[in-house]
Amino acid sequence: MTEKLQINGQNFSLHPSGAMFWEEQEALLISDVHLGKISHFRKFGSAVPQKAIAENFRRLTAAVEYFNPVNLLFMGDLFHSSLNAEWDLFAAWIEEQSAKVILIAGNHDIISENKYEQLGIKIYSEISLNGILLTHHPEIREEHFNICGHLHPGFKLRGRGRQSLGLPCFHKMDRQLIMPAFGEFTGNFWISPAADDQIFAITKKEVILVS
């Protein structure tokens, strides 16, 4: 179901949801949930199913229950835009969590820090631990391995003829790993990896090392 990975002597588990567990820190990393995006688009007439909102919270709960983290780190773009009805759902969900919750702010995180503080959520621009640099946007720093989000990476598996299957993925390079978007209705940026890159494609049930 999960795929194990070691970075800078630290151990990580990649989960089919798109979440990533850092064993030594007992920390669950989740990037680009984009809560509120579905309600935002529905408000302006987009035919996005209402059940997609509940699916985001179902998947969040499943990932947390699977790893039982001490720390829950959202790697940016937790909420897509300004406040809407999904904020109340998120607040209720947070009340049920025992983990310490941290947000590494992304470009979409425009809601007042006071709202997050009222929920007990700490906000940082980045976090550096044991040579691992956690950011929202991709960063290259000397003597650090960067784990980030923002780009919503996806990879197209090619079959014979013109067959192809597009899947979200973890994209690991020499000094960087870009996480897939966790949220429903987020889309993918289709990547063309270099020869030495590793692609961990995710399906509903497993993580697959494809290159």
Q: Topology of 3-209 in CATH?
A: Purple Acid Phosphatase; chain A, domain 2 (3.60.21)
Work out the mean pLDDT of the chain and round it to a whole number: 89
The Cα–Cα gap between 181 and 34 comes to 9
Q: Residue 52: helix, strand or coil by DSSP?
A: helix
The helix (run of H) or strand (run of E) holding residue 88 is helix 85-95
pLDDT computed for residue 37 by the predictor? 64
The Cα–Cα gap between 130 and 134 comes to 11
Q: Which residue has the tokens 């969900």?
A: 93
Phi and psi torsions of 177, nearest 5°: -130, 125
User: Residues 6 or more apart from 51 whose CB is under 8 A from it?
Assistant: none
Q: Would you place residue 5 in the very low, low, confident or very high pLDDT band (cuts 50, 70, 90)?
A: very high
User: Residues 6 or more apart from 61 whose CB is under 8 A from it?
Assistant: 93
Phi and psi torsions of 46, nearest 5°: -75, 140
User: Is residue 47 scored above 50 in pLDDT?
Assistant: no
The Cα–Cα gap between 179 and 170 comes to 5
Q: Which residue has the tokens 């990533």?
A: 20
pLDDT computed for residue 18 by the predictor? 96
Nearest in space to 17 (alpha carbons), one of 87, 67, 53: 67
Q: Model confidence over 151-180: pLDDT tens digits?
A: 999 998 876 667 778 899 999 999 999 999
Q: Would you place residue 82 in the very low, low, confident or very high pLDDT band (cuts 50, 70, 90)?
A: low
Q: Model confidence over 13-33: pLDDT tens digits?
A: 999 999 999 999 999 999 999
The Cα–Cα gap between 31 and 45 comes to 27
Q: Would you place residue 44 in the very low, low, confident or very high pLDDT band (cuts 50, 70, 90)?
A: very low
User: Is residue 83 scored above 80 in pLDDT?
Assistant: no
Check: pTM over 0.85? Answer yes or no. yes
pLDDT computed for residue 211 by the predictor? 66
The helix (run of H) or strand (run of E) holding residue 124 is strand 122-124
